[in-house]
Chains A and B, each alone.
Chain A
Amino acid sequence: MNPVLQVQGVSKLFGDRAILCGLDLELPADSTTVLLGANGTGKTTLMKLVLGLERPDSGTIRVAGLDPMRDASAVRARVGFVPDRPDVYSWMTPRELFAFLRPQYPRWNRTIESRLVERLSIPLRTSFATLSRGEAAKTMLVAALAPQPDLYLLDEAFSGLDPLVRDDVLAAFLAEIDLSGRAALIVTHELDLAARLGDRIAILANGRIAACKSIEELCGVDEGGGGGGDQPRRLKQALSDVLEGSAA
């Protein structure tokens, strides 16, 4: 089966500064990949490149076989994107946002929309200006899940939320995300979240993917039977090892 996302040899410079240098990454169907990396390593840039919001200086990107530069509209209809901060109009209410987005996404599922709105208790008639941070994040998540995209892109979507809300949102995400034939790329700095969400971890360093492995491969098999609670610590250690190795 073709990968949902295929990034080959992508480089991106901002002025003289190289953010991405020949980056390769493939997201197979039915997978959730968590992208880890230090601040400023190009995680958000990679997402923008995938969405066609930036032009790569070299390399190719394919989303479900489509070029984001040439088929921008089709690619964006196949990608569910959650930004780190809601970027919609402050006067918009969730109801208006969904009404605005719905016709633009051919596979928008109103059932998913309604179910999530109900589950996450989203106030439909309150404008983003008065929604809480958590409510706004929930709304953006619904806007990304309801289109049933081929690729989910979550850019620090769960950061800044209080733990209760975050768990709530995370549970909803995990319950509603349908990965059959689809893939998700999640950017986060929270290792416990990465350990919970990802079945693969990609580590971005020096403009390249320094490692892209399953959690088990990256952290080693938990022989001591310590359970998942130890995974973030081991993930942190693995991340340090990879980053040090990459720096060397």
Chain B
Amino acid sequence: MKHIELYLWKEWRDQRTGIFGLILVVPILFVLAVLAWDSNRVATVLDPGLAAAIGALTALLVFGADLIPGEVRRARVAFLERLPAGLERAFTAKLVFFVAVTLFAAIYAMSVAVGLHALQGTSSAVPFLDAIRGQFVLPAIACALWIFAVSAWVPHGALAFPAAAIVIALLCSPAWFFFGPDSILQPTSGELRAFCALSAIGATVSAWFSFVRGYRFGRAPAHAALLGAVVAVLSLLPAWSWCAWRWHAAHTLDPHSDRFEISSAWLSEDGSRIFLNATNYAQNTPPDKVIWRGVRVDLKSGAWQSAASRVLVAEYAPGSASPARRVRSMILNGLENRIGDAHDEMVHSIKGSTGLVQDRNLPTASELGLDEHFRIQYWLGMGLMVNEVGKLNNSIFFDPFRKRTFDSAEIYASSPNLDRLSTCIRPGSWLVPRGLHRPREYELFDPDTRASTPATGWNAKDFLGPVLGDGRFLVVDSDGICIYTPETGARDRLTVRGELPGPVKYVWASPWTNAPLSRFQPQFLSLDGHEFETLARLDVEHNEIVTAHAARGRVRLVAYEDANTVLALEDQRTIVRLRFGTTDREVVFPRD
């Protein structure tokens, strides 16, 4: 950079009065603040980071915004232009000087603040740049450079700030999609850095074109502004394109994308279609901002159609007492949501994120013979948690076999070690875990006598699965899966038919409704191994579990077509048809 030192010297001579003024004024202002304000406000102002920001902002106001307009105002551009070094060197020196003087002002103001802290005998507890403030440095640099760039577009430095604000608002408008409070496109730190870097480069290049080319041949600031604006737009085009791509990707459903995800799925009444909620999630999107879209898939052809918003189904449980394949109209949160074959508009959006309403297999209070002031909460094994309307914090258990309620706090008063909220109500004694953490021991608890005894033959390494209709449990132990009777310790071993790639660790009731397995027919299970998951059908009569194709990831039951065929959601992204007792796996959606 030949002659750059000459031009730096020129800038120094041009601005030194202002720099000396800054050196003088900053300590005076800080001292006045110390004298005038209380210690809390002083501590805020004398925070090193804030002091540095004040210093940098002052430099930006005094020098950065007027380095170029100052030359125009004093009609010295022609002098700089007619010299052999031309406007290029002058610009480079201005940029370097701008950066240097801003850094100097920041460091100087910070040093003054630290010095005043020392004089006061206090320490500056807040570090200069903590993690939170650190993330504002890059945008601050980009904004400062835009102010510098835009200052080349205006005839006076005082106009640089408002003009820069407008320019930043316009040029960076795509970024508002990212940063806005309702943004679905939270930028990654890499994207943020890249945008700031691009912005800083764009601002610098724009400033160069404005000053070096725009003011050439004695042209007016309007020409410099036009040229600088064109360059600014061009330089930010990649960012705009990227934003547009992110926006498009977030609003377009591509089932073959790596970012495709299905949250829930239902089979239609006639079994010909699947409704599902899916998204192409954008990276870093907060969960509550993900755009879920309803999708209707024709099972025969695989053709699919997406809707503008999500599918909401209040009630659906395969194999429940109600028709197994059911998608029906209902009222949810006061808004009508119709889903079904009769309606093309399969989806109506709903405020809030209600999702699948919790288990609709719950009986009503009157069905249980309870007063209307009882409200049914959820299943506890084969019994239910209820509470009384208008009373807070009351937990009442309903035992359908004893046909009576129990106040849980009361009956467990002398058994504080039992995890009463994990009580499994069943015929005879209830089964209640002891303590909150695994490995778990279980107690047989008699709610009438409030006496408890340890479950017979229980091994802490065993895993307790769902309760069966007769009060026995499915249990995974070291030898496989068995039906366990806690009163006697008896274990009836189940045979497994079908594929099972390794030992099973956990067994769950597949419908995921928390309802007792006995309410479903057929009874579907999820078997969870170390590196696989598989769906299975329980056949208690033959002491048999029949498995389907095992997957490496998660498998969730969607619906069943018959006792041997189910539709399942694999890895949250593929709907497959599985057949029990075979390794058949047919991809239903998305098809290639």
Considering only residues 84-137 of chain A, those with a C-beta below 8 Å from chain B are 87-92, 96, 100-101, 103-105
Known: A73-B84, A76-B83, A89-B13. 7 other contacts (CB 8 A): A53-B78, A53-B218, A54-B218, A87-B75, A89-B74, A89-B79, A96-B13
Q: Do A53 and B217 contact each other (CB < 8 Å), given the known contacts A87-B75, A87-B76, A91-B14? A: yes
24 pairs from A and B in contact (CB 8 Å cutoff) = A51-B82, A53-B78, A53-B81, A53-B217, A53-B218, A55-B217, A73-B84, A73-B85, A73-B86, A76-B82, A76-B83, A76-B84, A81-B82, A87-B75, A87-B78, A88-B76, A89-B74, A89-B76, A90-B74, A96-B13, A103-B6, A104-B3, A104-B83, A105-B84
Residues of B within 8 A of A238 (CB): none
- Per-position contact with A for B53-95: 1 when CB-CB < 8 Å, else 0? 0000000000000000000001110110111111000000000
- Per-position contact with A for B391-431: 1 when CB-CB < 8 Å, else 0? 00000000000000000000000000000000000000000
**For chain B, what secondary structure do more than half of its interface residues adopt (helix, strand, loop), or is it mixed?**
helix
Determine whether the beta carbon of A104 is less than 8 Å from that of B82: no
A58 to chain B, nearest CB (A): 16
- Per-position contact with B for A154-197: 1 when CB-CB < 8 Å, else 0? 00000000000000000000000000000000000000000000
A243 within 8 A of B: no
Residues of B within 8 A of A96 (CB): 13
B10 within 8 A of A: yes
A10 to chain B, nearest CB (A): 15
* A208–B410 alpha-carbon span in the complex (Å): 114
Residue of B nearest to A86 (CB): B79
Determine whether the beta carbon of B79 is less than 8 Å from that of A88: yes
A77 within 8 A of B: yes
Residues of B within 8 A of A76 (CB): 82-84, 86
* A103–B3 alpha-carbon span in the complex (Å): 7
* A55–B75 alpha-carbon span in the complex (Å): 20
A11 to chain B, nearest CB (A): 15
Q: Which one of B6, B79, B217, B218 contacts A104 once the chains associate, using CB atoms below 8 Å?
A: B6
Residues of A within 8 A of B6 (CB): 100, 103-104
Residues of A within 8 A of B9 (CB): 100
Residues of A within 8 A of B83 (CB): 76, 101, 104
Residues in chain A within 8 A of chain B (CB atoms): 48, 51, 53-55, 72-74, 76-77, 81, 87-92, 96, 100-101, 103-105
Residues of A within 8 A of B75 (CB): 87
Considering only residues 1-27 of chain B, those with a C-beta below 8 Å from chain A are 3, 6, 9-10, 13-14
Determine whether the beta carbon of A87 is less than 8 Å from that of B85: no
Residue of B nearest to A101 (CB): B83
* A53–B78 alpha-carbon span in the complex (Å): 8
Determine whether the beta carbon of B84 is less than 8 Å from that of A91: no
B17 to chain A, nearest CB (A): 9
Residues of A within 8 A of B10 (CB): 89, 100
A73 to chain B, nearest CB (A): 5
Residues of A within 8 A of B82 (CB): 51, 53, 76, 81
* A54–B78 alpha-carbon span in the complex (Å): 11
Q: Which one of A54, A88, A91 contacts B217 once the chains associate, using CB atoms below 8 Å?
A: A54
Which of A51, A73, A96 has the largest number of chain B CB atoms within 10 A? A73
- Per-position contact with A for B516-540: 1 when CB-CB < 8 Å, else 0? 0000000000000000000000000
Residues of A within 8 A of B14 (CB): 89, 91
Residues of B within 8 A of A55 (CB): 217
Residue of B nearest to A77 (CB): B84
* A92–B10 alpha-carbon span in the complex (Å): 9
* A88–B74 alpha-carbon span in the complex (Å): 10
Residue of A nearest to B87 (CB): A72
Residues of B within 8 A of A91 (CB): 13-14
A128 to chain B, nearest CB (A): 11
Residue of B nearest to A49 (CB): B217
Residues of B within 8 A of A105 (CB): 84
List the 8 closest A-B pairs by CB distance, nearest first: A77-B84, A87-B79, A76-B84, A104-B84, A73-B84, A54-B217, A104-B85, A51-B82
* A127–B592 alpha-carbon span in the complex (Å): 81
Residues of B within 8 A of A92 (CB): 13
Residue of A nearest to B75 (CB): A87
* A77–B75 alpha-carbon span in the complex (Å): 22
* A54–B10 alpha-carbon span in the complex (Å): 25
B508 to chain A, nearest CB (A): 79
* A174–B81 alpha-carbon span in the complex (Å): 28
A124 to chain B, nearest CB (A): 15
* A72–B10 alpha-carbon span in the complex (Å): 22
* A103–B78 alpha-carbon span in the complex (Å): 19
- Per-position contact with A for B181-223: 1 when CB-CB < 8 Å, else 0? 0000000000000000000000000000000000001100000
- Per-position contact with A for B155-191: 1 when CB-CB < 8 Å, else 0? 0000000000000000000000000000000000000
Which of B3, B74, B84, B86 has the largest number of chain A CB atoms within 10 A? B84
Residue of B nearest to A106 (CB): B84
Residue of B nearest to A73 (CB): B84
* A87–B75 alpha-carbon span in the complex (Å): 8
* A62–B85 alpha-carbon span in the complex (Å): 19
A89 to chain B, nearest CB (A): 6
Q: Do A72 and B86 contact each other (CB < 8 Å), given the known contacts A87-B75, A104-B3? A: yes
A49 to chain B, nearest CB (A): 10
* A73–B88 alpha-carbon span in the complex (Å): 10
Residues of B within 8 A of A101 (CB): 83
A94 to chain B, nearest CB (A): 14
Residue of A nearest to B2 (CB): A103
* A101–B7 alpha-carbon span in the complex (Å): 10
Residues of A within 8 A of B217 (CB): 53-55
* A104–B292 alpha-carbon span in the complex (Å): 66
* A53–B217 alpha-carbon span in the complex (Å): 5
* A55–B86 alpha-carbon span in the complex (Å): 15
Residues of B within 8 A of A104 (CB): 3, 6, 83-85
Residue of B nearest to A54 (CB): B217
* A105–B86 alpha-carbon span in the complex (Å): 12
Residues of B within 8 A of A88 (CB): 76, 79
* A104–B83 alpha-carbon span in the complex (Å): 8
Residue of B nearest to A78 (CB): B84
* A54–B219 alpha-carbon span in the complex (Å): 10
B8 to chain A, nearest CB (A): 11
* A53–B13 alpha-carbon span in the complex (Å): 26
Residues of A within 8 A of B79 (CB): 87-89
- Per-position contact with A for B291-326: 1 when CB-CB < 8 Å, else 0? 000000000000000000000000000000000000
Residues of A within 8 A of B74 (CB): 89-90
B236 to chain A, nearest CB (A): 29
A39 to chain B, nearest CB (A): 18
* A104–B564 alpha-carbon span in the complex (Å): 91
Residues of B within 8 A of A81 (CB): 82
